């Protein structure tokens, strides 16, 4: 039996693999909403049963939140751990979905067939690419290729509150030679890639309070301080005219990318005009003097993710609000310290307050950036396996998003993460009408079969 036999099995069993994914997608495992806790349990149970069918010793493990699914397979060769998450984002606004978010279907589009439904790309479809590769391997060889650990989380979309304690308490069980993570994308939808750096994330919510109650703007307008006015001034002060972030000490620990990496990124031929045009924009809005790929992969950001204050319903109401709030996120790179930035940001806001106003803060997570040393020959073996499967040269790329688990594998377990995913830029993850290309699902399964074969040989 050879790798070709495994790949042939994957091709033949693609309809059955797709049916299994659709079944998992029908479970509304929204981790942020307590109303869906039974569905998160159901998704965990589904995965345990599916892994057991492969001969994996799998268990649903209790946490203070949603359960982890952990499974083990004994074997020779390297010990590989696969991580994925089975929880999904909320589906609002529901009226923008073209079909029920948990009524997944295969759809024909101008760019080929897609799997439409919440979680299809993030992360159930990606998770199942690895499991289906293992299923085909088992069917052909009668056993799985090496010692394997499956580590599937149910809280990734709600900040992973149980993850670090679970990893710390079960570190000996979860340590492995390499951690495989399938929660990333290809480069410009067609180039398979290994992500070697990820930005960290700091979330802050600020609430400015002025008067003790909402006020009539005819009686109090002009004499009373409006919290929205104060909040607007704070937000406007977060960037200078060149797009640099003004929080004191913010750029401490921010490195410039090495010349060799900059040259490699430039050679990718990133079409920033098309990237922006796809979402109705035309001009980069980041730091002046930085290339587009630097902006999305290697530079830190400060973004306002939501603002509330005053009357926001239909019609008009002349009111001065008592409170105004904003949710602000910082993407971090290099050695930036999220806790130091949080302290500096809060002091900056407090120092800007006029008399009669006060501020309160709520934190929403803090994680450092992570980067991966690719000197291990297994990275080059993976790159070659991806190149063969997709017919184009695979690339090492950065990631603009934040996947804290990659850093946790390094810092808690001392395990090197390998981030390979098959998502596309237009998958609409976290948005209505999320989809996953059938090509990504099919070739993703084949890719993992090739990668595991390469890793067990290298």
**pLDDT tens digits, residue range 106-131?**
999 999 999 999 999 999 999 999 99
Q: Is the pLDDT of residue 1 over 70?
A: no
Tell me the percentage of the chain whose pLDDT exceeds 90.
90
Q: Is the pLDDT of residue 339 over 90?
A: yes
User: Which are the contacts of 215, defined by CB distance < 8 A and separation ≥ 6?
Assistant: 224, 319, 320, 322
What structural domains and CATH numbers belong to the chain? Answer: 3-198+370-457 (3.40.630.10), 201-254+300-367 (3.30.70.360)
Q: Is the pLDDT of residue 154 over 70?
A: yes
Using CA of residue 404, residue 405, residue 411, residue 416, what is the dihedral sign?
negative
pTM of the model: 0.85
Q: Is the pLDDT of residue 414 over 90?
A: yes
Q: What does the block give as tokens for 121?
A: 């790309």
Strand-strand pairing, 215-216 and 358-367: unpaired
Q: Cα angle at 259 between 257 and 260, to 5 degrees?
A: 105
Q: What does the block give as tokens for 201?
A: 């994330």
310-315 long-range contacts, Cβ below 8 Å, gap at least 24?
A: 310/214, 310/228
pLDDT digits (tens, 9 = 90+) for 245-287: 999 999 999 999 888 888 889 889 899 998 899 889 999 999 9
Give the mean pLDDT of 350-376: 94
Tell me the percentage of the chain whose pLDDT exceeds 70.
100
Give the mean pLDDT of 357-373: 93
User: Which are the contacts of 256, defined by CB distance < 8 A and separation ≥ 6?
Assistant: none
Q: Is the pLDDT of residue 447 over 70?
A: yes
Average pLDDT taken over every residue of the chain: 96
Give the mean pLDDT of 92-109: 97
DSSP summary character for residue 96: G
pLDDT digits (tens, 9 = 90+) for 422-445: 999 899 999 999 999 999 999 999
Q: Is the pLDDT of residue 209 over 70?
A: yes
User: What are the distances in angstroms from CA 156 to CA 33, 216, 223, 339, 438?
Assistant: 13, 43, 47, 21, 24
User: Which are the contacts of 169, defined by CB distance < 8 A and separation ≥ 6?
Assistant: none
Give the mean pLDDT of 221-225: 95
Residue 326 — very low, low, confident or very high, per pLDDT cuts 50/70/90? very high
Give the mean pLDDT of 228-252: 98
Give the mean pLDDT of 138-157: 96
- H or E stretch at 27: none
The pLDDT value recorded for residue 214 is 95
Give the mean pLDDT of 225-250: 98
Give the mean pLDDT of 235-243: 97
The pLDDT value recorded for residue 28 is 98
Q: Is the pLDDT of residue 458 over 80?
A: no
Distance of CA 351 to the CA centre of its chain: 34
The pLDDT value recorded for residue 356 is 96
Half-sphere exposure of 294 (CA within 13 A, CB side): 17
pLDDT digits (tens, 9 = 90+) for 51-87: 999 999 999 999 999 999 999 999 999 999 999 999 9
User: Given the structure tokens 């008592």, which residue do they identify?
Assistant: 322
Residue 46 — very low, low, confident or very high, per pLDDT cuts 50/70/90? very high
The pLDDT value recorded for residue 262 is 87
């Amino acid at each position: 039996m050879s790798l070709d036999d495994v790949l042939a099995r994957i091709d033949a069993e693609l309809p059955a693999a797709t049916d299994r994914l659709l079944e998992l997608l029908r479970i509304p495992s929204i981790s942020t909403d307590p109303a869906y806790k039974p569905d998160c349990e159901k998704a965990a149970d589904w995965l345990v049963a599916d892994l057991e069918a492969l001969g994996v010793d799998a268990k649903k493990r209790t946490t203070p939140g949603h359960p982890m699914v952990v499974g083990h397979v004994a074997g020779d060769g390297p010990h590989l751990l696969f991580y994925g998450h089975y929880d999904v984002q909320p589906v609002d606004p529901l009226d923008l979905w073209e079909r029920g978010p948990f009524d997944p279907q295969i759809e024909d589009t101008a760019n080929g067939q897609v799997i439409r439904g919440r979680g299809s790309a993030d992360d159930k479809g990606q998770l199942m690419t690895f499991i289906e590769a293992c299923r085909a391997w088992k069917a052909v060889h009668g056993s799985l290729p090496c010692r394997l650990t499956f580590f599937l989380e149910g809280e990734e979309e709600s900040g992973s509150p149980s993850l670090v304690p679970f990893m710390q308490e079960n570190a000996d069980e979860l340590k492995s030679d390499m951690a495989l993570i399938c929660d990333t994308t290809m480069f410009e939808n067609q180039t398979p890639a290994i992500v070697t750096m990820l930005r960290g994330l700091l979330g802050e919510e600020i609430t400015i309070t002025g008067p003790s109650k909402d006020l009539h703007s005819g009686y109090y307008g002009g004499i009373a301080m409006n919290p929205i006015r104060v909040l607007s001034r704070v937000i406007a002060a977060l960037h200078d005219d060149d797009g640099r972030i003004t929080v004191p000490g913010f750029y401490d620990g921010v490195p410039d990318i090495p010349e060799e990496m900059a040259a490699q990124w430039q050679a990718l031929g990133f079409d920033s005009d098309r990237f922006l045009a796809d979402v109705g924009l035309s001009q980069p809005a980041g730091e002046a003097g930085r290339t587009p790929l630097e902006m999305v992969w290697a530079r830190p950001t400060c973004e306002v993710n939501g603002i509330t204050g005053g009357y926001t319903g239909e019609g008009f109401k002349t009111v001065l609000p008592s409170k105004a709030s904003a949710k602000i996120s910082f993407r971090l790179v290099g050695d930036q310290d999220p806790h130091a930035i949080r302290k500096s940001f809060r002091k900056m806001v407090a120092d800007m307050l006029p008399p009669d106003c006060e501020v309160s803060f709520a934190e929403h997570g803090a994680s450092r950036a992570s980067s991966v040393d690719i000197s291990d020959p297994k990275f080059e073996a993976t790159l070659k396996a991806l190149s063969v499967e997709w017919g184009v040269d695979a690339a090492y790329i950065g990631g603009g998003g934040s996947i804290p688990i990659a850093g946790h594998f390094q810092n808690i377990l001392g395990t090197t993460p390998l981030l390979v995913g098959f998502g596309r830029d237009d998958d609409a993850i976290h948005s209505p009408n999320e989809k996953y290309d059938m090509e990504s699902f099919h070739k993703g399964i084949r890719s993992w079969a090739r990668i595991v074969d390469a890793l067990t040989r290298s």
